C-alpha cells in the first residue's frame, strides 16, 4: 500500500497543470516569451470566422472585441482583457453589455496605463491657455511680435477641481500640486486626502466645490452616473474667468451648456481632447472660439505607451496561468 501511495504521488507531480486557452493576436516574440513565463497557457490567434469557432472552448480573450453574439458561444470564458482605459461602448468598442456584466467573467483593462501622458496633455491645454500661447503661436506665423500680457494667469495658489481621481485624475493632481495649486477631488470612491489632494467630495457634492475652482478637469470614466454631470447648472456655478479641461469622454459634459459658458465669457478658456460626437462636426460652434483648444482624442499617445500596455498583457496572462489575482480588474457594475 505504501509503495502504491508513493507511486501515485510521483505520478501526480509530473502531471502537467491544466492548460488554459487564451485567444490573443500577439507578436511572435511575445508568444515565445509567454511560453516560458506562462507555460500552462496556450496562446491562440483568431479573427473573423476563426474567432467564432475558437471562442467556444476559450478560457480568456485578450485585446479582442467580444460581442454579445460571440459571448453566447464562449461557454467557458473566465477572463476578458480590454485594451483601452474605458470599458464602455465607444467608437468600435462594444464595451460592457448586460450578459457580460451579470456573468462571472473577470474583466480587466488598461487603466493606469494612459494616466501620465493624458495628464501631460491636460496641462498642455491649461498652460497654453493661461500663458496665452493660443494667441501668440498663430501670430508667430505672421512674423508678429505682440507684447500684450493681458489675461495671463498664474497657477500657483489657484484651485483645481478634478472630477474623477483615478489613473488619469491622480496624475493630473500630481501635476497641479507641482504647480503650487490647491487640489479638490471629486470621486465616487471614498479616497483619502493627502498633501497632493487636500479635499475629497462625492459626486453629489460637486456643486459645492465648483465655485471654488479656477480650473475644472474632467477625467471621470463614462458611466450612466457620470454622463452629463457637467451641465448648464454646473457651468453657471463656475467662477467668471475659470478654465474647463475635458480629458475622458465627451458625454460627461453638456456641449450646448459649454458653448453658452464660453460665449458668455464665463469661461476664460477650454481644452477638449474629447467631444460628443467624435469627430466634432464641421460647423460646430466650438470650432469658432479662439480660447477653445481642441485636439482629436490623441492625448493617450506616448513613447512609453506600448511598453506599459505590453507589460499589463504579459503580466496578466502569466497571473491567469498561475491562478493569481489579475491587475486592473474592472468593477463591472460601476463601469470602471
Whether the pLDDT of residue 223 is over 60: the answer is yes
Its pTM surpasses 0.75: yes
pLDDT of 112 reads: 87
Burial of 80-106, coded b for 16+ CB within 10 Å and e otherwise, reads bbbbbbbbbebeeebbbeeebeeeebb
Whether the pLDDT of residue 15 is over 80: the answer is no
DSSP-based three-state secondary structure for 218: strand
The three cell numbers locating residue 267:
469661461
CA 119/CA 122 separation, integer angstroms: 5
The arithmetic mean of pLDDT across residues 260-277, rounded, is 98
DSSP-based three-state secondary structure for 203: helix
For residues 123 and 116, the answer to whether their CB atoms sit within 8 Å is: no
How many angstroms separate the Cα of 193 from the Cα of each of 24, 71, 164, 189? 40, 41, 14, 12
DSSP-based three-state secondary structure for 245: strand
Whether the pLDDT of residue 116 is over 70: the answer is yes
pLDDT of 17 reads: 59
- With cell 471621470, the residue in question is 220
Set out the domains of the chain in order of their start, with CATH numbers: 15-112+305-322 (3.40.50.720), 115-294 (3.40.50.720)
- Could you give phi then psi for residue 153, rounded to 5 degrees? -135, 125
The arithmetic mean of pLDDT across residues 259-281, rounded, is 98
**In 55-169, which ranges are E strands?**
60-62, 79-81, 106-108, 159-163
Amino acid at each position: 500500500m505504501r509503495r502504491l501511495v508513493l507511486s501515485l504521488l510521483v505520478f501526480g507531480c509530473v502531471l502537467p497543470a491544466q492548460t488554459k486557452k487564451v485567444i490573443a493576436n500577439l507578436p511572435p516574440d511575445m508568444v515565445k516569451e509567454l511560453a516560458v513565463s506562462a507555460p500552462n497557457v496556450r496562446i491562440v490567434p483568431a479573427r473573423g470566422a476563426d474567432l467564432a469557432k475558437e471562442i467556444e472552448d476559450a478560457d480568456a480573450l485578450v485585446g479582442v472585441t467580444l460581442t454579445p453574439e460571440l459571448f453566447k458561444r464562449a461557454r467557458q470564458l473566465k477572463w476578458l482583457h480590454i485594451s483601452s482605459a474605458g470599458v464602455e461602448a465607444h467608437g468600435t468598442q462594444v464595451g460592457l453589455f448586460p450578459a457580460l456584466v451579470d456573468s462571472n467573467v473577470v474583466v480587466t483593462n488598461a487603466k493606469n496605463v494612459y494616466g501620465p501622458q493624458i495628464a501631460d496633455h491636460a496641462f498642455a491645454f491649461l498652460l497654453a491657455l493661461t500663458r496665452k500661447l493660443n494667441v501668440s503661436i498663430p501670430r508667430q506665423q505672421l512674423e508678429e511680435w505682440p507684447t500684450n500680457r493681458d489675461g495671463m494667469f498664474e497657477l500657483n495658489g489657484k484651485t483645481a477641481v478634478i472630477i474623477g481621481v483615478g489613473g488619469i485624475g491622480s496624475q493630473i493632481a500630481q501635476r497641479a500640486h507641482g504647480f503650487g495649486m490647491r487640489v479638490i477631488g471629486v470621486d465616487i470612491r471614498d479616497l483619502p486626502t493627502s498633501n497632493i489632494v487636500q479635499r475629497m467630495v462625492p459626486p453629489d457634492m460637486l456643486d459645492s466645490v465648483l465655485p471654488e475652482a479656477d480650473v475644472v478637469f474632467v477625467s471621470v470614466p463614462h458611466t450612466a452616473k457620470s454622463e452629463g454631470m457637467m451641465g448648464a447648472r454646473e457651468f453657471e456655478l463656475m467662477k467668471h474667468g475659470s478654465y474647463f479641461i475635458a480629458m475622458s469622454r465627451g458625454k460627461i459634459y453638456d456641449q450646448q451648456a459649454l458653448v453658452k459658458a464660453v460665449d458668455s465669457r464665463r469661461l476664460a478658456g477650454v481644452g477638449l481632447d474629447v467631444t460628443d460626437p467624435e469627430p466634432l462636426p464641421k460647423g460646430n460652434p466650438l470650432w469658432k472660439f479662439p480660447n477653445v483648444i481642441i485636439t482629436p482624442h490623441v492625448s493617450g499617445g506616448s513613447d512609453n505607451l506600448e511598453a506599459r500596455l505590453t507589460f499589463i498583457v504579459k503580466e496578466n496572462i502569466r497571473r491567469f496561468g498561475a491562478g493569481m489575482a489579475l491587475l486592473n480588474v474592472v468593477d463591472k457594475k460601476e463601469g470602471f
